[in-house]
Amino acid sequence: MSVRRRPFPEVPPGASLKRAPALVPLSQDHHHSLVQSLHLREAAAGESSRAPAVARALLEHWRSAMQGHFADEEEVLFPRAEAVDPESVARLWAEHAELASLVERLERALELGADARQLMNEIGWLVHDHVRFEERVLFEEVQTRLAPPELADLGRALEAHRAARGRAPLR
């Protein structure tokens, strides 16, 4: 199952990506999406009988977490990040749209009882590459190039946006 991979920088061995407090909620969301990504790719490569349950789990994660996370990014993060890295923001907008389209196709495939493993693999790799790029490129640029008061304002705006959609702030 060949899928077009998207470039993202590797983290050198032993290095860690420290996250500014303003971005921690998004990074924590990313962890859960990476777990879904791995499950999709494993199910796509394995026994076809397991694939529909894994695909349905992804659809539930999409509805309960990813759509709201995308709104957090698109409405709060991206407008601020565009000033420091417009090319990365453009890429991420496009990937959000592509993921939404692929998830719609996955939902239709499941409704029709079709073998969705190729589509699951494609979604799995796109989520993986998208999250890695966002963490390793955009978040690093935002943390480096926004002044501390701007980062604090971003954090407050993100917390308010998440609270408005029913996500409790982290403590």
Ranges of the chain whose pLDDT falls below 50:
none
Q: Are 34 and 131 in contact (CB under 8 A)?
A: yes
| pLDDT the model gives residue 17 | 75
| pLDDT the model gives residue 169 | 63
DSSP state letters, 33-59 = HHHHHHHHHHHHHS-TTTHHHHHHHHH
| pLDDT the model gives residue 103 | 98
| Rounded distance between C-alpha atoms, residue 9 and residue 94, angstroms | 19
CA contacts within 13 A on the Cβ side of 154 = 27
CB 118: neighbour CB atoms within 10 A?
14
CATH number listed for the domain at residues 21-164: 1.20.120.520
**Predicted TM-score (pTM) of this structure:** 0.90
pLDDT tens, residue by residue, 34-56: 999 999 999 999 877 889 999 99
What's the full length of the chain, in residues? 171
| pLDDT the model gives residue 14 | 58
pLDDT tens, residue by residue, 51-75: 999 999 999 999 999 999 999 999 9
**Coil, strand or helix: which one is 15?**
coil
| pLDDT the model gives residue 93 | 97
**Tokens 């407050």 sit on residue:** 156
CB 105: neighbour CB atoms within 10 A?
15
| pLDDT the model gives residue 2 | 59
DSSP state letters, 69-110 = HHHHIIIIIHHHHTTT-HHHHHHHHHHHHHHHHHHHHHHHHH
